C-alpha cells in the first residue's frame, strides 16, 4: 500500500512541477514540438514520394508471347509456374480473342473493321506484374529460357529509372531523417538538462533530509516524460490539420495533378508517425531527466 501511495505521490509531484516551473516547461515543450514538427513534416513528404513511386512500379509489366502452335492449356500451365515465382505479384492471361477485342475497341470502335478472322490469332500472352521492379532483369532471363516462349516484352528504361528513384529517395530520407533526429535529441536533451540543473538545490535538500534516490528521481522523470508527451502531441495535431487541408486543397484546385498523384491517407501516414513521434518525445524526456538527475544525486 505504501509503494502505491508513493507511486501516485511521485506522479502528482511530477505534474505539479510542470506548472511550478512554467518557464522551463514551456521552453522544453516548445523545443520538442518544433523539432518533431520538422521531423513529422519531412516524414509525411518522404512517405508520399515512396508511395507514388511504388504505385508507378505496380503499373510496370512484362508481357510474354508464345511460339505458334502452343496450346492454350500449355500457356496457362506456364502462367501457373510463373505466378509462383517471388518476383511476380500478379499474372493475367490474355487469349488471342481477348487481345483482338481489346485492339478493336481501342482503334476501330464504332467502325466496321472488315475483318472476318482474328488477325491477332498468334497474340495470346501473359501480362506479368512484378512485386519489385528491380527484379525485372532476373525474371526476364528466366522467361526467355522457357522453350515455348517466343518473345518477352519489357520496359528496361522505366524499370531502371523507377529503381534508381526509389533507391535515391531511400538514401536521402534516411540521411535527412537521421540528421533531424540527431539535432532533435541534442536540442531537447540540452533543454531538459538545463531545466533540471537549475533545480539542483532542490534535489540536494531532498537528499539531505533522507529521501531515497528513487523518491528524488521519480517526479523529475515523470515530469520529463509528460513534457515529452505534450511536446510530441502538439506537432502531431498541427501536421494532421495541415496534411488534410493540403490534400483537400490539391484535389479541389489541381484536378489534373491529383489524378496523377496518389497521396497516402491521413490514417496511413499517422499509423507509424504517431507511435514514432510519441516514442521520441517520451523517450528523450525520460532519458534527459534520469541522466541529469543522476548527476545531482551524489551530495
pLDDT in tens, 167-226: 777 788 788 777 776 776 676 666 656 666 666 676 677 666 766 767 777 777 787 788
Q: Looking at residue 241, what is its pLDDT?
A: 92
Largest CA-CA distance found in the chain, in angstroms, rounded: 104
In this structure, are residues 124 and 43 in contact, taking their beta carbons and an 8 Å threshold? no
Could you tell me the CA-to-CA distances from 63 to 66, 97, 126, 174, 278 in Å, in that order? 10, 16, 6, 35, 47
Contacts of 282 (CB under 8 A, 6+ apart): 225, 228, 229, 232
Map out the domains of the chain as residue ranges. 2-56+162-295, 61-154
CATH number of the domain at 61-154, out of 3.50.40.10, 3.30.70.3040, 1.10.580.10, 3.40.50.1370? 3.30.70.3040
Q: Looking at residue 197, what is its pLDDT?
A: 64
Q: Looking at residue 9, what is its pLDDT?
A: 64
Q: Looking at residue 130, what is its pLDDT?
A: 82
Contacts of 34 (CB under 8 A, 6+ apart): 235
d(CA 185, CA 172): 20
In this structure, are residues 193 and 273 in contact, taking their beta carbons and an 8 Å threshold? no
The dihedral over CA atoms of 278, 283, 288, 294, expressed in degrees to the nearest 10, equals 140
d(CA 168, CA 162): 10
pLDDT in tens, 271-280: 989 998 898 8
pLDDT in tens, 73-119: 888 888 888 888 888 888 888 776 665 566 555 545 554 455 555 54
Amino acid at each position: 500500500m505504501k509503494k502505491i501511495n508513493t507511486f501516485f505521490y511521485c506522479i502528482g509531484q511530477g505534474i505539479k512541477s510542470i506548472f511550478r516551473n512554467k518557464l522551463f516547461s514551456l521552453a522544453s515543450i516548445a523545443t520538442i514540438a518544433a523539432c518533431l514538427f520538422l521531423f513529422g513534416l519531412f516524414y509525411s513528404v518522404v512517405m508520399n514520394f515512396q508511395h507514388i513511386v511504388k504505385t508507378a512500379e505496380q503499373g510496370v509489366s512484362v508481357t510474354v508471347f508464345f511460339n505458334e502452335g502452343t496450346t492454350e492449356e500449355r500457356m496457362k500451365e506456364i502462367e501457373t509456374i510463373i505466378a509462383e515465382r517471388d518476383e511476380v505479384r500478379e499474372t493475367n492471361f490474355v487469349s488471342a480473342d481477348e487481345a483482338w477485342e481489346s485492339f478493336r475497341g481501342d482503334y476501330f470502335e464504332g467502325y466496321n473493321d472488315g475483318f472476318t478472322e482474328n488477325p491477332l490469332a498468334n497474340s495470346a500472352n501473359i501480362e506479368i506484374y512484378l512485386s519489385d521492379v528491380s527484379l525485372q532483369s532476373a525474371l526476364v532471363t528466366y522467361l526467355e529460357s522457357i522453350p515455348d516462349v517466343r518473345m518477352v516484352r519489357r520496359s528496361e528504361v522505366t524499370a531502371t529509372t523507377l529503381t534508381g528513384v526509389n533507391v535515391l529517395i531511400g538514401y536521402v530520407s534516411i540521411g535527412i531523417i537521421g540528421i533531424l533526429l540527431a539535432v532533435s535529441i541534442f536540442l531537447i536533451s540540452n533543454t531538459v538538462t538545463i531545466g533540471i540543473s537549475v533545480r539542483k538545490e532542490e534535489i540536494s535538500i531532498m537528499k539531505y533530509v533522507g529521501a531515497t534516490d528513487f523518491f528524488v528521481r521519480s517526479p523529475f522523470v515523470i515530469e520529463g516524460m509528460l513534457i515529452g508527451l505534450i511536446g510530441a502531441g502538439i506537432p502531431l495535431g498541427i501536421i494532421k490539420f495541415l496534411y488534410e487541408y493540403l490534400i483537400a486543397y490539391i484535389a479541389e484546385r489541381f484536378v489534373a495533378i491529383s489524378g496523377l498523384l496518389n497521396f497516402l491517407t491521413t490514417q496511413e501516414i499517422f499509423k507509424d508517425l504517431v507511435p514514432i513521434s510519441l516514442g521520441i518525445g517520451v523517450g528523450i524526456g525520460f532519458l534527459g531527466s534520469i541522466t541529469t538527475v543522476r548527476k545531482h544525486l551524489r551530495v
